[in-house]
């Protein structure tokens, strides 16, 4: 026994230099994730224990990779490259969105891809100098000293693997000695920038991962939920409410819509959003405190549609991809129970943020994604005017009242000059040409949003059908790295601006209706409280949750991040019931749904405006003798603009004419005699078939 212990101690002593080697990637990670050299140095002596934990994590990973590969140098380069790439990405994300890279970003990698192509200047002088420093330091230790054993035998590799696993689990579980608990080390999941700055990138990532897989809540059961539901005040029934009107309720999330005219030193050649400003003066308007900056649209959508709050979920997480796995009562299902047709409209791919499944779980009856849009673009994205056209078409086709939720894309990131074919706005002010260019591009984008809003209001005003339109921006636009344009124009003094939260997270909101023109409210709310407000305005029946939220909003209309509770006079215990009800919906047994008589999910849920059907197929010739091509004309119903004709299962070039007609060109080796089986199909960008028509056969002869 003594001999084995001595051999183990010798083994450990031989591997002690790895502690020195591991400090290099730790410090490089901190420099890259923070974006400068000085912060890591300050952090190192102010947070010594956190530094040691980061070192411990990297050492455990390094030992594990040495055990797998068997070669110290290769293992070091592999694990260091992996960690440094993560830190670099985290630093870039922090600059653009104000939130570092988190473990849950891995579940939305596809959603982030459209932003990656606009990320420029990653390999700056600072980054390159850091990489050179890393390579030089690593080379000197690995190749110019004799401290490190190059190869590891198989028996030792097994021991190293065991040590590595035990070391990592000790950090992950905080066992057997709860050092993290003793010293108050925890993940600040509500403020990921603070989390990374305090704990360091490696430790913050481990703590975030632990938080991501922990959704247990003490004191949660049927009785706890039932008590909250029963204590929630019920909305009073006013005289005449027994036969209320059923207005259309149209909710529009306008991508990155914000009012840049509030920048004191910026002068615009003309008002980019004149109609929005007109509605602000004449009707209900205000602001919403968004949980997002620069991106994360789905989280704002999640709050508005469900009434749930991102304040009870980790910052940087995406509820749609991580937490929605069952039906969730939403505005769509609430209105559907009262005879409404609930439709979701989005000018982007059906798979984006898992939207196809989410909208079904929320109780929508149909979803119109980009695959069913006309390809009417403004810049790189579908024009807002095309979203308006789909909203109008949706309500025209419906025999009764409609609930429509739509989001837009025309004003989506980026904001560099040249985004739009033509820019009609000039901006002047005492700031850099870069800021001028971004503000001019933003003005052009939000002007399209303003014209869309005007088109919808004028259409429903003229039509006379009772209608509510709620229109707001989901988050402020990301105008340069590290809030560059906002600081350059002196809209904020910097990241430490005393009004940073209000200025950088408040988005403008208007609510218009054509049946209660005397109604004018000043709304300054969180997105999760908009739904209950619209239910009351439309005089429809909500559910237990909207009743609860209506009452809570009277006391706390705005719910900020936890670190702002004290300054906004919010008592955390007053929000515990809200958090419990949300927990029940997302992670619990959905106790309050047990008495529902109508299913939340619509069994007839579908993509598009209706089944794709073919009525007839005509050919410009029934005989291919002497021909090199042949044109088919198909007639049917609900033919998607981005769909295509298939001949015996093979796609052929298709020209869409309208919802009822398309033509297809048949040539090459498909030009054969026999029975042609014709269908109309629509796919998404991932080659998934979303819809397919019935088959129509024609007989082609000749040759």
314-353 residue pLDDT tens:
888 889 988 898 999 999 999 999 999 999 999 999 998 8
Confidence category of residue 190, pLDDT binned at 50, 70, 90 = low
- Residue 367's pLDDT is what? 97
Quick one: how far is CA 432 from the chain centroid?
31
Confidence category of residue 112, pLDDT binned at 50, 70, 90 = low
Reading the block at residue 115, the tokens are 């932003």
Average pLDDT over residues 389-398: 96
- Residue 115's pLDDT is what? 47
Place of tokens 């190059």: 150
Most confident of 35-39, 105-109, 457-461: 457-461
235: pLDDT strictly greater than 60: no
- Residue 41's pLDDT is what? 82
- Residue 14's pLDDT is what? 60
| Residues 341, 364 contacting (CB under 8 angstroms) | no
Please, what sign has the CA dihedral across residues 658, 662, 663, 668?
A: positive
Confidence category of residue 223, pLDDT binned at 50, 70, 90 = confident
Between the CA of residue 18 and those of 81, 84, 137, what are the distances in Å?
A: 16, 18, 14
Instruction: State whether residue 630 is helix, strand or coil.
Output: strand
Average pLDDT over residues 403-415: 96
Place of tokens 């009785």: 223
- Residue 39's pLDDT is what? 83
Q: Which pLDDT tens digit goes with each residue over 677-694?
A: 999 999 998 899 999 999
Q: Give me the DSSP letters along 505-532.
A: HEEEEEEEESS-TT---EEEE-GGGHHH
218: pLDDT strictly greater than 70: no
24: pLDDT strictly greater than 60: yes
Reading the block at residue 224, the tokens are 């706890």
- Residue 336's pLDDT is what? 96
| Residues 583, 576 contacting (CB under 8 angstroms) | no
- Residue 107's pLDDT is what? 60
237: pLDDT strictly greater than 50: no
Q: Is the peptide bond before 414 cis (omega within 30 degrees of 0)?
A: yes
- Residue 327's pLDDT is what? 95
Higher per-residue pLDDT: 13 or 523? 523
Reading the block at residue 652, the tokens are 């052929």
698: pLDDT strictly greater than 90: yes
109: pLDDT strictly greater than 70: no
Q: Looking at 278-382, which runs of residues are DSSP E strands?
A: 284-289, 341-345, 366-368, 377-378, 381-382
Please, what sign has the CA dihedral across residues 41, 47, 51, 57?
A: negative
Q: How many angstroms separate the CA atoms of 593 and 487, rounded?
A: 48
Of 620, 609, 698, 693, residue with least CA distance to 659: 609
Instruction: State whether residue 661 is helix, strand or coil.
Output: strand
At residue 197, φ and ψ (nearest 5 deg) are -65, -35
- Residue 118's pLDDT is what? 44
Which of 15-29, 367-381, 390-404 shows the lowest per-residue confidence on average (mean pLDDT)? Answer: 15-29
Higher per-residue pLDDT: 147 or 457? 457
DSSP 8: H
Q: How many angstroms separate the CA atoms of 523 and 125, rounded?
A: 46
- Residue 91's pLDDT is what? 85
Q: Which pLDDT tens digit goes with each residue over 465-476?
A: 999 999 999 999
Confidence category of residue 238, pLDDT binned at 50, 70, 90 = very low
Place of tokens 């190293």: 160
Beta strand 402-407 with 248-254 is parallel
Average pLDDT, the chain: 88
| Residues 551, 529 contacting (CB under 8 angstroms) | no
| Residues 545, 584 contacting (CB under 8 angstroms) | no
**Helical H segments across 284-416, by residue range:** 297-306, 319-322, 331-336, 355-361, 384-397
Q: Which residues of 394-417 are buried (b: 16+ CB within 10 A; e: fewer)?
A: bbeebeebbbbbbbbbbbbbbbee
383: pLDDT strictly greater than 90: yes
Q: How many angstroms separate the CA atoms of 459 and 245, rounded?
A: 19
Confidence category of residue 703, pLDDT binned at 50, 70, 90 = low
Of 614, 582, 623, residue with least CA distance to 691: 614
Average pLDDT over residues 208-229: 73
Q: Which pLDDT tens digit goes with each residue over 601-634?
A: 999 999 999 999 999 999 998 888 888 899 999 9
Q: Which pLDDT tens digit goes with each residue over 503-533?
A: 999 999 999 999 987 878 999 999 999 999 9
DSSP 353: G
First to last CA, the chain: 91
Confidence category of residue 193, pLDDT binned at 50, 70, 90 = confident
- Percent of the residues in the chain that have a pLDDT greater than 90, as a whole number: 57
105: pLDDT strictly greater than 80: no
Helix (H) or strand (E) segment spanning residue 632: strand 629-637
Higher per-residue pLDDT: 355 or 2? 355
Higher per-residue pLDDT: 679 or 588? 679
Q: Which pLDDT tens digit goes with each residue over 257-280?
A: 999 999 998 999 999 999 999 999
Burial class (CB in 10 A: 0-12, 13-18, 19+), 52: middle
- Residue 48's pLDDT is what? 86
4: pLDDT strictly greater than 60: no
- Residue 122's pLDDT is what? 66
Q: Which residues of 215-238 are buried (b: 16+ CB within 10 A; e: fewer)?
A: eeeeebeeebbeebbeebeebeee
Q: Give me the DSSP letters along 447-509.
A: HHHHHHHHHHHHHHHHH---EEEEEEESS----SGGGHHHHHTTSSSSTT-TTHHHHHHEEEE
Confidence category of residue 93, pLDDT binned at 50, 70, 90 = confident
- Residue 157's pLDDT is what? 85
CB contact set of 62 (below 8 Å; sequence gap of 6+)? 18, 21, 22, 75, 76, 79, 164
Q: How many angstroms separate the CA atoms of 587 and 325, rounded?
A: 9
Q: How many angstroms separate the CA atoms of 316 and 112, rounded?
A: 12
Q: Which residues pair with 377 in a beta bridge?
A: 382
| Residues 518, 204 contacting (CB under 8 angstroms) | no
- Residue 216's pLDDT is what? 60
At residue 331, φ and ψ (nearest 5 deg) are -55, -35
CA angle centred on 573, ends 568 and 576, rounded to 5° = 110
Which of 66-75, 173-182, 314-323, 440-449 shows the lowest per-residue confidence on average (mean pLDDT)? Answer: 173-182
Q: Give me the DSSP letters along 116-134.
A: HTT----S-HHHHHHHHHH
CA angle centred on 166, ends 165 and 169, rounded to 5° = 85
| Residues 695, 688 contacting (CB under 8 angstroms) | no
Average pLDDT over residues 146-150: 73
Place of tokens 């209001």: 457
Which of 195-204, 234-243, 631-640, 689-698 shows the lowest per-residue confidence on average (mean pLDDT)? Answer: 234-243
Confidence category of residue 6, pLDDT binned at 50, 70, 90 = low
Q: How many angstroms separate the CA atoms of 397 and 31, rounded?
A: 57
| Residues 88, 128 contacting (CB under 8 angstroms) | no
Average pLDDT over residues 160-178: 86
- Residue 149's pLDDT is what? 74
Quick one: how far is CA 233 from the chain centroid?
33
Average pLDDT over residues 79-93: 88
Reading the block at residue 551, the tokens are 């009452």
- Residue 254's pLDDT is what? 98
CA angle centred on 561, ends 557 and 563, rounded to 5° = 120
Reading the block at residue 19, the tokens are 């502690």
């Amino acid at each position: 026994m003594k001999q084995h212990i001595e051999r183990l101690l010798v083994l450990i002593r031989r591997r002690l230099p790895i502690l020195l080697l591991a400090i290099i990637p730790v410090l490089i990670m901190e420099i890259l994730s923070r974006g400068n050299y000085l912060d890591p140095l300050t952090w190192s002596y102010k947070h010594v224990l956190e530094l040691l934990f980061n070192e411990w994590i990297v050492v455990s990973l390094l030992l594990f990779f040495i055990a797998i590969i068997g070669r110290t140098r290769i293992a070091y380069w592999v694990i260091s490259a992996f960690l440094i790439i993560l830190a670099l990405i985290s630093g870039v994300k922090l600059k653009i969105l104000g939130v570092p890279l988190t473990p849950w970003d891995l579940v939305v990698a596809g959603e982030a891809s459209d932003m990656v192509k606009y990320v420029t200047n990653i390999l700056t002088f600072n980054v390159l100098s850091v990489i050179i420093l890393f390579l030089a330091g690593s080379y000197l230790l690995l190749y110019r000293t004799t401290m490190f054993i190059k190869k590891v035998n198989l028996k030792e590799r097994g021991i190293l693997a065991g040590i590595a696993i035990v070391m990592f689990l000790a950090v992950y579980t905080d066992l057997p000695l709860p050092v993290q608990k003793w010293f108050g080390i925890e993940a600040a999941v509500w403020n990921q920038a603070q989390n990374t700055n305090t704990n360091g990138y490696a430790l913050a990532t481990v703590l975030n991962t632990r938080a991501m897989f922990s959704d247990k809540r003490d004191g949660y059961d049927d009785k706890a939920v039932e008590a909250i539901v029963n204590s929630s005040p019920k909305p009073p029934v006013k005289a005449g409410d027994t036969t209320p009107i059923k207005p259309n309720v149209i909710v529009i999330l306008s991508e990155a819509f914000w009012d840049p005219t509030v920048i004191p030193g910026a002068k615009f050649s003309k008002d980019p959003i004149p109609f929005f400003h007109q509605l602000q003066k004449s009707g209900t308007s205000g602001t919403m405190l968004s949980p997002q900056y620069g991106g994360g649209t789905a989280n704002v959508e999640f709050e508005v549609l469900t009434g749930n709050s991102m304040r009870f979920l980790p910052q940087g997480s995406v509820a749609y991809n991580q937490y929605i796995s069952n039906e969730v009562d939403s505005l769509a299902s609430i209105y559907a129970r009262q005879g409404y047709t609930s439709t979701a409209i989005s000018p982007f791919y059906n798979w984006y943020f898992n939207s196809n499944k989410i909208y079904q779980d929320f109780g929508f009856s149909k979803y119109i994604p980009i695959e069913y849009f006309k390809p009417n673009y403004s810049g790189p994205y579908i024009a807002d005017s095309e979203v308006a056209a789909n909203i109008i078409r949706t309500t025209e086709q419906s025999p009764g009242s409609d609930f429509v939720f739509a989001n837009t894309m025309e004003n989506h990131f980026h904001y560099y000059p040249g985004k739009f074919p033509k820019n009609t706005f000039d901006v002047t002010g005492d700031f850099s040409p870069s800021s001028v260019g971004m503000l001019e591009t933003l003005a052009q984008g939000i002007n399209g949003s303003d014209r869309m809003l005007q088109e919808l209001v004028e259409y429903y005003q003229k039509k006379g059908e009772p209608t509510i339109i709620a229109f707001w921006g989901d988050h402020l636009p990301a105008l340069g790295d590290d809030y560059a344009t906002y600081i350059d124009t002196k809209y904020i003094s910097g990241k430490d601006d005393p009004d940073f939260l209000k200025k950088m997270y408040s988005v403008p909101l208007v609510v218009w209706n054509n049946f209660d023109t005397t109604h004018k409210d000043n709304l300054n709310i969180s997105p999760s409280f908009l739904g209950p407000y619209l239910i009351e305005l439309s005089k429809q029946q909500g559910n237990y949750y909207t009743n609860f939220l209506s009452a809570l909003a009277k006391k706390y209309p705005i719910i900020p991040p936890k670190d702002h509770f004290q300054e906004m006079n919010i008592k955390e215990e007053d929000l515990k019931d809200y958090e419990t009800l949300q927990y029940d919906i997302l992670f619990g047994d959905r106790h309050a749904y047990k008495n529902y008589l109508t299913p939340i999910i619509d069994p007839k849920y579908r993509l598009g405006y209706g089944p794709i059907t073919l009525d007839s197929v005509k050919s410009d010739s029934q005989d291919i003798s002497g021909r090199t091509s042949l044109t088919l004309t198909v007639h049917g119903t609900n033919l998607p603009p981005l769909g295509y004709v298939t001949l015996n299962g093979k796609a052929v070039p298709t020209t869409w004419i309208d919802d009822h007609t398309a033509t297809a060109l048949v040539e090459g080796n498909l030009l054969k005699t026999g029975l042609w089986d014709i269908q109309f199909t629509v796919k998404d960008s991932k080659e998934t078939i979303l819809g397919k028509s019935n088959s129509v056969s024609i007989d082609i002869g000749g040759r």
